[in-house]
Amino acid sequence: MSSIQHSAFRKIFGLVVILIFVSIVEAQTGKIDNIAQQAALVTEFDVNGMKVIVKRRAAAPTVAAGLFIRGGARNITDKNSGIENLMLTSAVEAGKTFPRQTVRREMAGTGSSIGAGAGRDFSTISFASTRTNFDRIWEIFTDVAINPAFLPEDVDRVRAQTLAGLRESEISPDGALQALSNRVVFTGHPYANDVIGNSKTISAFTAADLRAFHQKTMQTSRLLLVVVGDIDPNDLKARVTASFGKLPRGEYKEQSLPALDFSKGTVEIVPRAIQTNYVQGNFDAPALSNPDYFPMRVATTILQQLVYEEVRVKRQLSYAPNAELNNFAANTANIYVTAVDANQAVKVMLEQINMLKGQPIREDVIAGMAGQFLTNYYIGQETNSAQVGELARYELIGGGWRNSFEFLNRIREVKPGDVQAAANKYMKNIRFAVVGESSAINKSLFLQN
């Protein structure tokens, strides 16, 4: 590594050292919670085909839960894209026992929240409440999840909100960039089915359509329930049996996803008369269940810090250049930049990728990275809701919930050679999406990686 690159790393990590020092010491002296101790807090059981995961946090003042629906984009087609998301966001408006006004009053009066949304791999209805109000919020949660009212006026209101969001995303350059990136990377793949939908599909759905889709969806073989808080698992099992246990089991079998096509690099441009060009370069990445995920996570984080230093700090080519690793079952990573001189910015970013491929990262850089991950990990896991999401993600696409407690150990095991190997294996054949002035883009430069 050159003296300039050493200097860049020193600047990057010098700012972080003070913040992570205590965490590194704790990691090296074994003061981090033992994995077995963490796993011992978790109870799992089955209710008529629905898996339930409960993590007990003694004396925690809040409780969080998520009902996760397996399948994500695989549950829809291009003809009904967005129906699952609209169904769920409409469902949480009101149940047959608790009308909309009561749901809103109870949430406001108890400081609780309930929400829903769809993702590429799974969808969710979730809630958070204080332990004191758990009994009441559980009643509302199960009512809207199992017996939603789907009143036409509620559906129309949620539909209007969804359409407004779609219009906004179409107007913004970033929204257009994400839409183009999705088309470039996901064409011919189940992920091509947009879980949010489009104006045509969303406008056509009726309350009866949502009710029929809900009935098909609410089968225990499709569902996963995760709860985190000071909850007795035996008490919860009785509650779940009395509510979700009455649902039909169904015969849902999850289908594996095909690989995404990164056989060659491409550049696709949506012309737009704007001064700043918006660029996202997508490349292959290992999924959470793949052992390569951990060196790739380290490699992407180092790349993120390098492009920030080289593109923004040194050359001032962009305000917010970025590199990011996603968390999908069929996974991707990307580099992103907004710049007037997109060619120069991308050239510098590709140089950083080539540096990662050609030169092993020093051991002390990896050690500093482990400390940074440690700090961010614990900050990210402070809330019960965050832990619900983490357990569910690992259970659904990460090889099982127990793997969620292995994250830090797996990061610490990453060696410089692993980072270099991950960069060479995945950071290639980049598929670029560009929104901006097409005449200003040098495609051959973008394809030099």
Q: Per-domain residue ranges for the chain?
A: 3-32+259-446, 42-246
Cα torsion 239, 242, 247, 250: sign: positive
Per residue in 39-84, pLDDT tens? 999 999 999 999 999 999 999 999 999 999 999 999 999 999 999 9
pLDDT of 323 > 90? The answer is: yes
Arithmetic mean of pLDDT, 107-114: 97
Distance in angstroms (rounded) separating the CA atoms of residues 265 and 349: 15
Among the CATH numbers 3.30.1300.30, 3.30.830.10, 3.90.1170.50, 3.30.1330.120, which is that of 3-32+259-446?
Answer: 3.30.830.10
User: What is the fold of 42-246?
Assistant: Cytochrome Bc1 Complex; Chain A, domain 1 (3.30.830)
Tell me the backbone φ, ψ of residue 282, rounded to 5 degrees: -100, 140
pLDDT at 104 over 70: yes
Residue 155 has pLDDT above 90, yes or no: yes
Query: Higher pLDDT residue, 4 or 410?
Result: 410
Mean pLDDT of the chain: 91
* Residue 67 and residue 396 in contact, taking contact as beta carbons nearer than 8 Å: no
In terms of pLDDT, which residue wins out, 23 or 228? 228
Give the pLDDT of residue 370.
62
For residue 2, pLDDT beyond 50: no
Say whether pLDDT at 16 is over 80: no
Angle at 291 between CA 286 and CA 293, to 5 degrees: 40
Closest CA to 284 of 276, 293, 275: 293
In this prediction, residue 367 carries a pLDDT of 72
What average pLDDT does range 79-94 have in this prediction? 98
On the question of pLDDT at 193 being above 80, the answer is yes
Residue 10 has a pLDDT of 44
> 189 pLDDT band (50/70/90 cuts)?
very high
User: Mean pLDDT throughout 115-128?
Assistant: 97
**What's the whole-model pTM score?**
0.90
- Statement: residue 6 has pLDDT above 90: no
Is 42-246 in the same CATH topology as 3-32+259-446? Answer: yes
Give the position of tokens 């011992």. 40
pLDDT of residue 17 exceeding 70, the answer is no
What is the structure's pLDDT at 360?
Answer: 83
pLDDT above 70 (res 286): yes
| 335 Cβ contact partners less than 8 Å away, ≥ 6 residues apart | 280, 281, 303, 307, 321, 322, 323, 346, 349, 353, 430
Q: Residue 11 has what pLDDT?
A: 42
